[in-house]
Structure 1
Amino acid sequence: MIYKIGERLVPIENETWEKERPAAVFLTDSAHAEETLKKAGIVYDNEIKLAKIGFCKVENQHECMVGTLCIPKLLDVLGNKYRMYFFVNQLNVVIVDDDAFAYKLIQRIQKKKARQADTKERFIYNFFAEFMSRDLEILIAYERRLLQMEEEVTRDEVESFENEMMPIRRELLNLRSYYDEIMDLGKELEENENGIFLERHLKYFGTLTDRADRLMSKTQHLLEYAQQVKEAYQSQIAARQNNNMQFLTVISTIFFPLTLITGWFGMNFYDMPGLKSGYYSVCVLSVVVVVVSLHFFKKKKII
């Protein structure tokens, strides 16, 4: 296989896809995409603008297949994404990437894979599998964070819960949409509408679809788990508020009769009985009210 980088057309390995179908992979940037496509024998009439890519998808044209990739950065899922085009015809694969992310992926494939690209189907499989290789590890990291947050809720340490949970849910929702797009893309490749791929190699794309399906299922499980943790947090907050309301109810119940007593004897009418010598009686009455109220609440197990 020959990796051709931009204008340099640098051969990295001299192999062929198959004896009857020699092919090459071209890596280029958007500035040189048009002429690189011509060299690869691919006709694409639309404008190539990486910044406008927002989804992972693939579409079949007359003599080629055109796809876009919008890959989230795993350490900053909500931030900028890796965006690239890929074009496939009977002989060649062209990848358009301005971030050199595709080139790094191919370098990693060369170091790790003994069979890097026996066929273009195998190359596409290796390429997709490589940028999905760490996803399960990242999802497990999310699971550990949620476990830790659940333990904090159990210990009633919920001060920063909302600030931690909100970005996690948004990131997981973003990843779920991404894996759903990869699943659809893999199914489209497997359908092989234009007959670009050899039938016996379509199993690679089925494997990619299955991997994306497992990752999406894991992400969905984490979203459901995050919802359970959030409900536990809300229950903890509700219990705390209920305790506060219960305390206020006890205080109000105790002081309401005391307020009535002090209001009654505070009217200071001239001929009011007990006005001149009722101070101690009011004090005793108030103490009796407090003791009786506390005894009642204790009996009802409110305090």
Structure 2
Amino acid sequence: MFYAFYDEIKNISLDEAKICDFVLGYISSYEFDNVCNAFDLPKNRVETLGYYKYGECVCVCLDKIKIYIRHGFVIIVCDNPKEKLPIFHNVLSKLDSTDAGRAKIIYTFIDELLTEEAGIHAEFQKTLAVLEKQILDDRQSENLNRVLYCEKQKCISKSNYYSKVQNIIEELKDNDFDLFDDDEMKYFDNLSNKITRLRDDVRTIIDSIVHLRDAYQSAIDLKLNNTMKLFTVVTVIFAPLGFITGWFGMNFKNMPLVSSPYGVAVAGVISVAVTVGMILWLKFKR
């Protein structure tokens, strides 16, 4: 799809686009070879996120999207054009044929992409809220640490992505080949500010994940402490009983109560008295 900017934005063919003073293109990677020949684009395809210069053409690579910029065109190449087509339609709806310059087109398109990123951040926050509720309700899954680790790695990847996009914006502001007018630099400043806010949001989410993992570890430690406390109490209570059992189990000839018909009863009373006494002592000490 190619668009020319007259009194209104008009959809045109590739042949018409070749003779226009300025066009906006949105194509798939499969159409790249034909468009490459028509507009003399660099034939070596860029796959790495970054900013590249080829002759008088600038290429901006944003993951699976490439933007080729020259005085006569802005061409967006998308590996999956149907996926980003709603974003491109939003860009067209925000452009005015009277002031649709290169900088504004790039700003509007990247701004739409970053708006989509804000929605991803909201999903991160919802996921963390669910995990936090599970920890508070003591019904977290056994693989919670793995889930938190995966979420943290996603956020770190996002932070790295924003850093590279920030570098791209700084390169665009250098205005190689005088592609942008001075009064258009404000668009790149706006993008830079928005990316900074997104990076700050991601860092906040990473901090939340770290705190959540600490809370999860604290919950595990508390549960372990309660279990050890229970075992300790049981051990303290039954230790005297073990001593009594060992004492009366010794087979000495002159052992008291060995021949007495009340020996078992006496031993039982002593054991119960010791157990009750230990429980009362522990409650008093608490």
TM-score normalized by the length of structure 1: 0.78
Is 2:205 aligned against 1:222? Answer: yes
| 1:124 Cα deviation from its structure 2 partner | 0.8
Tell me which of 235, 242, 249 is aligned to 1:266: 249
Please give the alpha-carbon distance, in whole angstroms, between the structure 1 residues aligned to 2:270 and 2:23: 99
Aligned with residue 179 of structure 1, among 162, 170, 189: 162
- What is the aligned residue count? 270
Instruction: Note closer, same or farther for the CA distance 1:91–1:177 as it changes in structure 2 (3 Å cut).
Output: same
Moved more, 116-125 or 269-278: 269-278
- For the 8 Å contact 2:33–2:43, the answer to whether it is kept is no
Give the C-alpha shift of residue 244 in structure 1: 0.8
Is 1:65 aligned with 2:65? no
Q: Hey, what's the Cα distance between the residues in 2 that align with 1:207 and 1:240?
A: 49
Q: Distance in 2 between matches of 1:94 and 1:158?
A: 49
Name 1:109's counterpart in structure 2: 91
Which one of 79, 90, 94 corresponds to residue 98 of structure 1? 79
Partner of 2:128: 146
1:154 deviates by 2.9
Which residue number corresponds to residue 17 of structure 1?
none
Supply the distance in 2 between the matched residues of 1:261 and 1:299 (Cα, whole angstroms).
Answer: 24
Equivalent residues in 2 for 1:188-207, closer than 5 Å: 188-207=171-190
RMSD: 2.8
Give matches, 1:208-219, under 5 Å: 208-219=191-202
Question: Structure 1 stretches of 5 or more lacking a match?
Answer: 5-10, 15-20, 71-82
Work out the percentage of aligned pairs sharing the same amino acid. Answer: 24
Which structure 2 segments of 5+ residues have no match?
5-9, 14-19
246-255 or 231-240: which moved more?
231-240
Offset, 1:2: 4.3
Q: Which is richer in helix?
A: 2
Q: Where does 1:1-303 land on structure 2 (aligned, <5 Å)?
A: 2-3=2-3, 12=11, 22-42=21-41, 44-46=42-44, 48=45, 53=47, 55-70=48-63, 83-100=64-81, 101-111=83-93, 113-115=94-96, 118-159=100-141, 162=144, 165-277=148-260, 278-301=263-286
Aligned 8 A contact 1:176 1:220 in 2: yes
Query: Structure 2: how far apart are the matches of 1:181 and 1:36?
Result: 27
Confirm or deny: 8 A CA contact 2:102 2:179 kept in the other structure. Answer: no
Residue type at the aligned position of 1:179: Y
C-alpha change, 1:160 and 1:273, in structure 2 (3 Å) is closer
